Amino acid sequence: MGSKSILFLALLLVAAGAGAHTRIYTFVDADGVKHFTDMPDDNRYRLLVLSPQDRTESGERYDRKLLARAAQYDSIIDRAAVAAAVEPNLLRAVIVVESGFNSRAVSRRGAVGLMQLLPATASRFGVSNLYDPQENIHAGASYLKFLMERFGHDVRLVLAAYNAGEEAVARNGGTVPPFAETMAYVPKVLKVYRMLSDGPRSPSLTLTARLAN
């Protein structure tokens, strides 16, 4: 899974809620990019301590940045969703968790871009530039469509395959593989998917409304 952006931090805080005990970790890489996660997989991560006041200020301070980062890809996501016949908010949810709308994100495993595509997957779906948002999103949408068809439109299995690989799901008897990362990843994406789908019509407004509460 890719690096976590400020957007994912905000969604983690929303999911945690007041008084919850979710631990969030952060570090700043050599390029000055800030990473957030609730499942640290790098020894550079350090615990982020937020008071209730910090939570409020964080939501207000980053609201416009989050909205701008998410909104700039709305039209590409909508077109890719139509072309691949997949839910646009499922695409958005995958992007939130994979890269936090950071088109330059690169994972330790070499997954790249908004939808954190591995080079082999990108080549399979005709991507020449993994960092290009349009190519990356369209290929990611096509891959999700392929997984939907392979796994009978079971979204849980589709997400598990997106994270762990389709053969890992097949080897596990067509169920979510018992990998810690995958078992955390699937409900995380589903939670964001529900947040986006249950809110106002505009996905960007949905994120803003959720972060403001």
Q: What is the CATH number of the domain that holds 123?
A: 1.10.530.10
Could you read off the pLDDT of 2-50 as tens digits, one per residue? 333 444 455 544 444 433 445 666 777 777 766 666 667 778 877 765 4
* Token pair listed for 4: 């976590």
Assess contact for 7 and 67: CB atoms under 8 A: no
Last residue of a domain, one of 43, 70, 97: 70
The CA-atom distances, in angstroms, between 116 and each of 14, 99, 108 are 24, 7, 11
- pTM > 0.75: yes or no: no
With bands split at pLDDT 50, 70 and 90, how would you rate the model's confidence at 194?
Answer: confident
Active site residues: 98
Last-in-domain residue among 70, 89, 114: 70
Q: What is the pLDDT of residues 103-161, one digit of tens each?
A: 888 988 899 999 999 999 999 999 999 999 999 999 999 999 999 999 999 999 999 99
Cβ burial, residue 17 (10 Å; 0-12/13-18/19+): exposed
Check whether residue 66 and residue 161 sit in a common domain: no
